[in-house]
Amino acid sequence: MRRIGIALSATCLAATVLTAGAPTASAGPCTGGTGSLGSSASSGSSFGGTNPIPWLNGSDGGLPNLKGRSQAVAHLTGLDSPNDSVRRFNVVGTDLGIMWDNGSGQILTAFGDTVGVSRQPFCEGLLGDWRSNVLFRSTDHNLADGMTIDSAPLDGDRHAKEIIPSKKIDGVEMTTIPTAGVEANGIQYINFMSVRSWGEPGEWVTNFSALASSVDNGEKWKVDLTTVRPNDPLTGNGNFQMGAYVKDGGFVYLFGTPSGRKGSVSLARVKEADFANQIAYEYWDGHGWTPTVPAAATPVIAGPVGEMSVAYNDHLRKFIALYSDGSNPAVMRVADRPEGPWGSPDVLIGSREVSGMYGAYIHPWSSGRDLYFVATTWSDYNVMLIKATLP
How many other CB atoms sit within 10 Å of the CB of residue 33? 15
Give me the pLDDT at residue 363, please: 99
User: pLDDT tens for residues 238-276?
Assistant: 999 999 999 999 999 999 999 999 999 999 999 999 999
How much is the pLDDT for 17? 42
Peptide linkage before 341 cis (omega within 30 of 0):
yes
State the Cα–Cα distance between residues 89 and 114, nearest whole angstrom. 11
59 phi/psi in degrees, rounded to 5: -115, 165
From the CB of residue 352, how many other CB atoms can be counted at a distance below 10 Å? 9
Q: Please report the domains of the chain, with CATH numbers, ordered by start residue.
A: 10-26+36-389 (2.115.10.20)
pLDDT at 1: 52
Could you tell me the pTM of the whole model? 0.90
Low-confidence ranges of the chain (pLDDT < 50): 2-28, 32-48
DSSP string, 240-307: GSEEEEEEETTEEEEEEE-SSSSPPBEEEEEEGGGTT-GGG-EEE-SSSEEES-GGG---SB-S---S
Beta bridge partners of 223: 212
pLDDT recorded at residue 238: 98
pLDDT of 52 reads 80
